[in-house]
Amino acid sequence: MTFDPSHAARSFSSVGTRPIRPDGVDKVTGRARYGADFNMPGQLIGRILRSPHAHAVIRKIDTSKAEQFPGVKAVVTAADLPDLTDGDTSMYDILDNCMARNKALYDGHAVAAVAAIDARTAKQALKLIDVEYELLPHVTDVDQAFAADAPLINETIFTTGVDPKPDRASNVSMRSQFGHGDVDAGMAEADFVVARTFKTEQTHQGYIEPHACVANVSSDGTADLWVCTQGHFVYRQHCAQLLGLEASRLRVTSSEIGGGFGGKTHVWAEPVALALSRKAGRPVKLVMTRDEVFRATGPTSATSIDVKIGAMKDGTIIAADATLRYSCGPYAGSWAEVGAMTAFACYKLENVRTVGYEVLVNRPKTAAYRAPSAPMAAFAVESAIDELAKKVGMDAVDFRIKNAAQEGTKASYGPVYGPIGIGPTLEAVKNHPHMKASLGKNQGRGMACGFWFNFGGQTCTDLNIGMDGTVSLAVGTVDVGGSRASLSLVAAEELGIDYAQVRAVIADTSSLGYNDMTDGSRGTFSSSMATISAARNAIKILRARAAQMWDIPVEDVTWEKGHAVAKGETHGNLPNLSLKEIAAASGTTGGPIAGHSEIVADGAGVSFATHICDIEVDPETGATKVLRYTVVQDAGKAVHPTYVEGQYQGGAAQGIGWALNEEYIYGKDGRLQNAGFLDYRIPVCSDLPMIDTQILEIPNPNHPYGVRGVGETSIVPPLAAVANAVSNAVGVRMQHIPMSPPRILAALEA
Amino acid sequence: MVEVTLWGALAAAAEGNSKVEVEAKNIRELFKKLSERFPGLTPLMDRGIAVAIDGTIYRDTWSKELPAGAEIYLLPRLAGG
């Protein structure tokens, strides 16, 4: 389905309105069921024993005392999760991450698990498991791990992406390179050059709801899993493969979700819960503690990035170069690759080169986090761009406008752009009242741009019309940000009925065809395409039923504003039939009326944003207060503008926390020092101003309404926007995120 | 015949070729012929590759036709958050 240009000027009836969310009452009254709210009769409580060591060989695990402890019904180790991955290295890494096999690779790595009659018994039993470790040298810093003499984490890792293949193993799992032109020649021509190295520390997605599930494996070989996830179909596939189950015999039901941001796109404890249930023969509930969430799930990469950009006197960027080192935890990843692709994506560049290196460290396996890898690259590049604009003597916004990518520009990662919104977001920022507001003492203003790809993917949707004319929409993309409301609006728009007549639900894995997970800003993009398709299929049936009722050819029936309309001179006197009237007669015109759709929603449009940030730094304490913040972003078409604004604000809030306070702190022993929200400080309401938003709508030509994904791009610019603001306030270029008070004081005193 | 551009890591696995010409009518045939010609690409293809056709990225629509003269760019298959 391609974009119908007439929609650009079309007046939508439902799309673009702001009805209240269908899940709102349940959430504010506490009725909504999150992962930990599900219980089963006879369920056991599962708990996981985790390595206290950053890197150690597991010599022996003795579970005999725990197994004999009263109330314990099952104990599992890696022996209960045999390797069924058949040479699939990425699945093997998932398996090993869920339960360590030969080595503990980070502080918090699971080594055994217990199911008992209650949490206290399970906790006591964990203490009875005797694990014999042989400690190995560890490395947790990305630059130290990159060094040739670093402790080796995985002796089977040989750097890919280089020719010839290295003759010895290292902690660098992959090298990626992107770009075009002659960077060295361009740099030699430049009148001005900025070259700096930037660092960002590891952060967690910081979702409020911890990972939780209830697993029930029956003796007949069927199984159920109730779980908090961003993708229950993907969880089914992974769990089925790791447990040796047939996918169709494992039904996975997703709960409401208290935040995911990419961290709930990976299985962690779910295969362990299923293994415990299989062994105990009873349901097992497993809820992670906050300490476990920090130590064993999430985090994003820590990075170290070299950037060099050259410009001519007229402000044209002549060459851009970046080398990006991203930590990926103790398993091979592809995080630097994404950073290398996104780093210069906002700009029109004749000569550009980015090289990314994946670096293994003894930290938890890196997971996706909202536009994964892009914020760190943007921090480095947008900081250098700001500095270069000053050197050239141009305003930061004008410099970016002069060099912004546009339709027809060859992107730094390769392809040529179609219609894109970076230029319009910059023009909107240039003219925004925020940019003209005055600043006081110790205050600074910064701005920055950001890019994200957005994805579509496999999607399946059912639209069922009840005999009373109401519509039930079953979708398979988990609602993490309000997609049930947005998809109900889309169904109402297509059918020509009121939003209140549509109820969207998230179907379980046994009720609908496969759906990719809700990631890549794809939930509303892809499921709205499937919903439009399903609604149009349902309309075909509605027209056929009306034709039956009128006894006229279906070709003479059209669908207009929720009604079947008879066309032609001979039928013109027939009164229109409403959807409700056709549905009421469905029992005698052929039975239930439904529309179904299964699609691959490729063609997601890329997305750009530009942010403005005002801050004030206390020169005595180094503390930074965000005074004002504005997000301008292209949404393609905002289906439910309130939710779009919420995505913009949420991404900005998370980015501000990343910029100013959030970081994993490891001790010399390789253990995480701040595994809790008291010591790992995410922003709270009192830390933030009201975040202003401006939605731009540059239609995506590959979506029937022009929709683009909006969920991720908003976290890309904040690190750089805040850093530019702080740098402008203190007069020192900030190169290390987070800009916590000690780092700002150190910069001031340097 | 279409000209296909490979990103860095892929080019290293394709005997250093960053651009290759392939006789293929759609993405499925393109992958098949590239894999036959450069066996070193197979592990990277198994990991996942996306195809940008005139700027639009396709990850799963392997039946998508490759128009003559189109700009075709192979990219890593990326995940989001």
Residues 6+ apart with CB under 8 A from A734: A383, A723, A726, A727, A743, A744, A747
* Domain assignment present for B52: yes
Closest CB to A702 among B56, B75, B79:
B56
Q: How far is CA A270 from the centre of its chain?
A: 20
Q: Which residues of chain B does A415 touch, with a Cβ-Cβ cutoff of 8 Å?
A: 52, 54-55, 57, 71, 73, 75
Q: Which residues of A touch B44 (CB under 8 A)?
A: 160
- DSSP lists the bridge partners of residue A693 as A631
Low-confidence spans in chain A with pLDDT less than 50: none
Residue with structure tokens 């395409």? A529
Q: Given CB atoms, is B12 within the 8 Å cutoff of chain A? A: yes
Q: Is residue B18 part of a domain?
A: yes
Cα distance between residue A20 and residue A109, in whole Å: 42
> With contact defined as beta carbons under 8 Å apart, do A360 and A157 qualify?
yes
* Helix (H), strand (E) counts: chain A: 20, 27
* Residues sharing a CB contact under 8 Å with residue A327, sequence separation 6 or more, in sequence order: A142, A145, A202, A301, A302, A303, A335, A359, A360, A361, A363, A366
Nearest to A261 by CA among A287, A292, A230, A233: A230
* CB within 8 Å: B81 and A338: no
What DSSP element (H or E) covers A359? strand A352-359
Decide if A513 contacts A572 (C-beta within 8 A). no
Interface mutation vs chain A, best among B62, B65, B78, most A CBs within 10 Å? B78
Q: Is B64 on the interface with A (CB under 8 A)?
A: yes
- Distances from the Cα of A312 to the Cαs of A181, A189, A317, A394, A395, in angstroms? 16, 8, 6, 12, 15
**Residue B66 belongs to some domain of the structure:** yes
Residue B76 lies in a domain: no
* pLDDT at residue A126 in the model: 98
- Cβ–Cβ contact B67 with A under 8 A: no
Q: Are A322 and A378 contacting, i.e. CB atoms less than 8 angstroms apart?
A: no
Do the strands A458-465 and A443-452 form a parallel or antiparallel pair, or are they unpaired? unpaired
Q: Which of B26, B38, B60 to mutate to test the interface with A (most CBs of A within 10 A)?
A: B60
Classify the C-alpha dihedral B51-B56-B61-B62 as positive or negative. Answer: negative
Q: Choose among A176, A337, A371: nearest Cβ to B81.
A: A371
The residue among A602, A607, A647, A654 with the most chain B CBs within 10 A of its CB, best to mutate, is A602
CA distances for B51 relative to A523, A648, B6, angstroms: 21, 29, 10
Minimal CA separation from B30 to chain A, in Å: 17
Higher pLDDT, B69 or A734: A734
Predicted local confidence at residue B11, as pLDDT: 85
**Are residues A685 and A650 in contact, defined by beta-carbon separation less than 8 angstroms?**
no
Residue in A429, A436, A380, A379 with CA at minimum distance from that of residue A404: A429
By the 8 A CB rule, do A565 and A542 touch? no
Give the CA count within 13 Å in the CB-facing half-sphere of A503: 8
Kindly report the nearest CA distance between residue A458 and chain B, in angstroms.
8
How far, CA to CA in Å, does A191 sit from each of A317, A349, A351, A389, A392?
10, 16, 15, 12, 9
What is the pLDDT of chain B when averaged over all its residues?
90
In 3-state terms, what secondary structure has residue A224?
Answer: strand
DSSP tag of A505 = E
Confidence of residue B12 (pLDDT cuts 50, 70, 90): confident
Spatial contact of A73 and A117, defined as CB atoms under 8 Å apart: yes
**Among the listed residues A505, A506, A502, the one whose alpha carbon sits nearest the alpha carbon of residue A490:** A502
Q: Do A370 and B81 touch (CB under 8 A)?
A: yes
Is A35:A86 a contact under the CB 8 Å cutoff? Answer: no
- Whether B80 is in a domain gets the answer no
SS (H, E, C) A12-56: CCCCCCCCCCCCHHHHHHCCCCCHHHCCCCCCEEEEEEECCCCCE
Structure tokens given for A607: 């997305």
- On chain B, the residues whose CB falls within 8 A of the CB of A521 are 80
Distance (Å) from the alpha carbon of B65 to chain A's nearest alpha carbon: 13
Chain B residues touching residue A176 (CB < 8 angstroms)? 7-9, 76
d(CA B36, CA A19): 54
Neighbours of A571 (CB within 10 A): 16
Number of other residues whose CB lies within 10 A of the CB of residue A334: 25
One-letter amino acid of A126: L
Chain A nearest CA to B13, separation (Å)? 7
- Multiple choice CATH, A303-454+605-749, 2.40.30.170, 3.30.365.10, 3.40.50.300, 3.90.330.10: 3.30.365.10
The answer to whether the Cβ–Cβ distance between B58 and A261 falls below 8 Å is no
A58-69 burial code (b ≥16 CB/10 A, e <16): beebebeebeeb
DSSP calls for A480-499? SSSHHHHHHHHHHHHHT--G
Provide the Cα torsion A237, A239, A240, A244; round to 10°: 140
What is the per-residue pLDDT for A11? Answer: 84
> How far lies A607's CA from each of A85, A378, A379, A541, A613, in Å?
36, 14, 17, 36, 20
- The reply to whether residue B81 touches residue A369, judged by beta carbons under 8 angstroms, is yes
The pLDDT of residue B8 is above 80 = no
B57 contacts in A (CB within 8 Å)? 415, 453, 455, 602-604
Q: Is residue B79 part of a domain?
A: no
- Number of folded domains in chain B? 1
CATH 3.90.1170.50 matches A35-136+210-257+264-296 = yes
Which CA distances in Å does A79 have to A83, A112, A255, A272, A417? 9, 10, 30, 12, 50
Name the strand (E) or helix (H) holding B34: helix B27-37
CA distances from B42 to A36, A160, B14, B36, B46 (A): 42, 13, 10, 9, 6
**What is the domain partition of chain A in residue ranges?**
35-136+210-257+264-296, 303-454+605-749, 456-600
Interior angle at CA A137, CA A132 and CA A139, nearest 5:
125
Same fold, A35-136+210-257+264-296 and A456-600: no
At A5 the pLDDT is: 54
CB atoms inside a 10 Å sphere around CB A416: 16
Q: Is B44 inside a domain boundary? A: yes
Whether residues A415 and B47 touch (CB distance < 8 A) is answered with no
Chain A, chain B: beta-carbon pairs less than 8 Å apart: 116
State the maximum Cα–Cα separation within chain B, in Å, rounded to a whole number.
Answer: 37
The residue type of A198 is F
Question: Between chains, do B80 and A413 touch, taking CB under 8 Å as contact?
Answer: no
pLDDT at B40: 87
By residue range, what is the domain housing residue B6? Answer: 2-71
Chain B (18-57) residues lying within 8 Å, Cβ to Cβ, of chain A: 43-44, 47, 52, 54-57
User: Is A548:A554 a contact under the CB 8 Å cutoff?
Assistant: no
**What's B37's domain CATH number?**
3.10.20.30
Instruction: List the beta bridge partners of residue B22.
Output: B2
Within-domain flag for B26: yes
Looking at the partner chain, which of A414, A415, A519 has a beta carbon nearest the beta carbon of B79? A519
∠A708-A422-A429 over CA atoms, to 5°?
Answer: 110
Instruction: Provide the CATH topology of domain A456-600.
Output: Aldehyde Oxidoreductase; domain 4 (3.30.365)
